[in-house]
């Protein structure tokens, strides 16, 4: 069954004060004092999120938390009163505390968030910018809640401080057959607040008309970033781990921030088609271009700003080439053997285009083209007279490219002119 995402309306990234919602609960299993008879160490568990396109509120009602030890024993913390938390107020570095209390030391392998989310809208819900409300439903939520399998240790002394980070753009989908309810899926990660850093930055260039900007984050160094696709092969290194939709005001800059990141190498990529990204599938219309790779250290914030340029020019049609037919294709880096669109190509195929445009029937000279909102770097432009023969689902031998222009350098806030031929 296909799904639809909540309509993309730009949501501001806010940094509000953390909610002081600490609560004691009833303990079981490994809770209480430790085996030496001394006070158990203190554990604090909070929730935070990445904002959701088009939503003004994402309210989740939590009734408790269950921690499962590696030995199979459990600690159940039941809140005296359900905690109704609007996750959209917990963006950036803000978080809401679920509990802050003594916990038996040891090794734990699973966290289960107990929630009230039956899809009726009487408890957990999402409210869109148009004012409509949709109940949130967790499949089998009454029995399993939101399970997070992520091992962590509670030492014999001191305080441990963890945050469960929701990526709401992946966690919430609204299947047509489920309307008006939306599904809240367990797409969360556990982070140690004492051992994480942040990446932030600004889009400093004016965005072209129709651009819905998105900043995507990837583990490691990624040259061919993909859009969100929960059906992608497990371990796909080109899949994002998080995404943000900066607020596109009338003038730049547009701010973004990724928080609670374990130390390591990360790649930041940019797209103008964030609104077209359906999290449950690969979307060929979403073009992502790397803008920077950076190292994150604990308790440090790295800055990766995004400045954009463009490539534009005029096309002189060669003899025998008539409209419709001409097409201009864009590639990252130096590509001497450009290919047409092919959804079945390997994800690391460097000869695949990142964008293209064709001249429709009725177009007359001069034939102008432009690729806008491009991060600075090297590009290749290729021309074909067989654009209508390009089936995006496969490689098409009938589509050939000539001329091919390599070594094109895009500079921030400038237009690079490349005429064809």
Query: Is the same domain home to 54 and 158?
Result: yes
**Each residue of 244-298: pLDDT tens digit?**
888 777 788 888 888 888 899 999 999 999 999 988 888 888 989 999 999 999 8
- Tell me the whole-structure pTM to 2 decimals: 0.64
Dihedral angle of Cα 317, 319, 324, 327, to the nearest 10 degrees: -50
Query: Is the same domain home to 247 and 364?
Result: no
- How many Å apart are CA 15 and CA 306, to the nearest integer? 21
Query: Is the same domain home to 203 and 185?
Result: no
Query: Is the same domain home to 269 and 313?
Result: no
- pLDDT greater than 90 at residue 139: no
Domain membership flag for residue 24: no
Q: What is the pLDDT of residue 176?
A: 75
Tell which of 271, 303, 335 closes a domain: 303
> For residues 48 and 41, which has the higher predicted lDDT (pLDDT)?
41
Q: What is the pLDDT of residue 13?
A: 24
- pLDDT greater than 60 at residue 327: yes
Q: Report the DSSP beta bridge partners of residue 97.
A: 46
Domain membership flag for residue 19: no
Query: Is the same domain home to 93 and 113?
Result: yes
Domain membership flag for residue 36: no
Q: What is the pLDDT of residue 3?
A: 36
For the chain, the domain total comes to 3
CATH number, domain of 349, equals 2.60.40
Taking residues 115-127, what's their average pLDDT? 88
Range of the domain at 112: 42-193
Q: What is the pLDDT of residue 90?
A: 63
> For residues 46 and 113, which has the higher predicted lDDT (pLDDT)?
113
**Each residue of 85-120: pLDDT tens digit?**
888 776 555 568 888 998 888 899 888 889 988 888
Query: Is the same domain home to 374 and 279?
Result: no
Query: Is the same domain home to 155 and 203?
Result: no
Query: Is the same domain home to 245 and 318?
Result: no
Tell which of 165, 193, 221 closes a domain: 193
> For residues 216 and 159, which has the higher predicted lDDT (pLDDT)?
216
**Each residue of 54-74: pLDDT tens digit?**
788 889 999 999 999 888 788
Q: What is the pLDDT of residue 51?
A: 60
Q: What is the pLDDT of residue 191?
A: 73
Q: What is the pLDDT of residue 2?
A: 34
- pLDDT greater than 80 at residue 347: no
Query: Is the same domain home to 158 and 279?
Result: no
Contacts of 332 (CB under 8 A, 6+ apart): 223, 289, 350, 354, 377, 378, 379, 380
- pLDDT greater than 90 at residue 369: yes
- pLDDT greater than 90 at residue 173: no
Query: Is the same domain home to 54 and 150?
Result: yes
**Each residue of 381-415: pLDDT tens digit?**
999 999 999 999 999 999 999 999 999 999 999 99
Query: Is the same domain home to 338 and 294?
Result: no
Domain membership flag for residue 221: yes
Contacts of 114 (CB under 8 A, 6+ apart): 62, 63, 64, 65, 66, 78, 145
Domain membership flag for residue 10: no
Domain membership flag for residue 29: no
What mean pLDDT value characterizes the chain?
82
How many CB atoms neighbour CB 50 within 10 A? 26
Domain membership flag for residue 95: yes
Domain membership flag for residue 320: yes
Query: Is the same domain home to 327 and 405?
Result: yes
Tell which of 149, 173, 193 closes a domain: 193
């Amino acid at each position: 069954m296909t799904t639809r995402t909540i309509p993309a309306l730009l949501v501001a990234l806010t940094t509000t004060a953390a909610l002081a919602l600490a609560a004691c609960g009833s303990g079981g299993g490994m809770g209480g004092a430790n085996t030496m008879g001394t006070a158990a160490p203190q554990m604090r568990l909070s929730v935070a999120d990445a904002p959701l396109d088009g939503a003004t509120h994402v309210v989740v009602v939590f009734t408790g938390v269950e921690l499962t030890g590696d030995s199979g024993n459990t600690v159940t913390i039941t809140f005296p009163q359900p905690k109704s938390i609007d996750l959209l107020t917990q963006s950036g570095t803000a978080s809401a505390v679920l509990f802050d209390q003594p916990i038996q030391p040891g090794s734990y392998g699973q966290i289960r968030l107990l929630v009230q989310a039956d899809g009726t809208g009487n408890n957990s819900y999402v409210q869109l910018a148009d004012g409509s409300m949709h109940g949130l439903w967790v499949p089998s939520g009454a029995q399993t809640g939101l399970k997070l399998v992520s091992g962590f240790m509670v030492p014999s002394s001191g305080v441990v401080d963890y945050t469960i980070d929701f990526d709401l753009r992946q966690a919430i989908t609204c299947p047509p057959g489920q309307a008006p309810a939306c599904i809240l899926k367990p797409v969360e990660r556990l982070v140690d607040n004492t051992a994480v850093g942040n990446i932030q930055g600004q889009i400093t260039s004016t965005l072209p008309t129709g651009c819905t900007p998105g900043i995507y984050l990837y583990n490691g160094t990624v040259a061919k970033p993909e859009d969100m696709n929960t059906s992608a092969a497990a371990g796909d290194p080109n899949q994002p781990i998080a995404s943000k939709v900066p607020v596109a005001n009338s003038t730049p800059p547009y701010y973004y921030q990724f928080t609670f990141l374990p130390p390591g190498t990360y790649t930041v990529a940019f797209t103008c088609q964030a609104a077209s990204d359906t999290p449950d599938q690969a979307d060929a219309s979403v073009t992502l271009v790397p803008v920077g790779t950076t190292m994150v250290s604990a308790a440090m914030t790295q800055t990766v700003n995004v400045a954009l340029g463009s490539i534009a020019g005029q096309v002189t049609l060669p003899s025998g080439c008539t409209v419709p037919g001409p097409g201009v294709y864009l590639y990252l880096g130096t590509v001497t053997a450009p290919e047409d669109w092919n959804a079945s190509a390997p994800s690391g195929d460097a000869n695949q285009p990142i964008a293209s445009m064709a001249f429709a029937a009725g177009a007359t000279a001069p034939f102008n083209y432009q690729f806008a909102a491009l991060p600075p770097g090297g590009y290749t432009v290729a021309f074909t007279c067989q654009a209508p023969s390009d089936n995006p689902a496969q490689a098409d031998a009938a589509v050939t490219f000539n001329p091919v222009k390599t070594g094109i350098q895009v500079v921030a806030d400038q237009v690079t002119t490349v005429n064809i031929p």
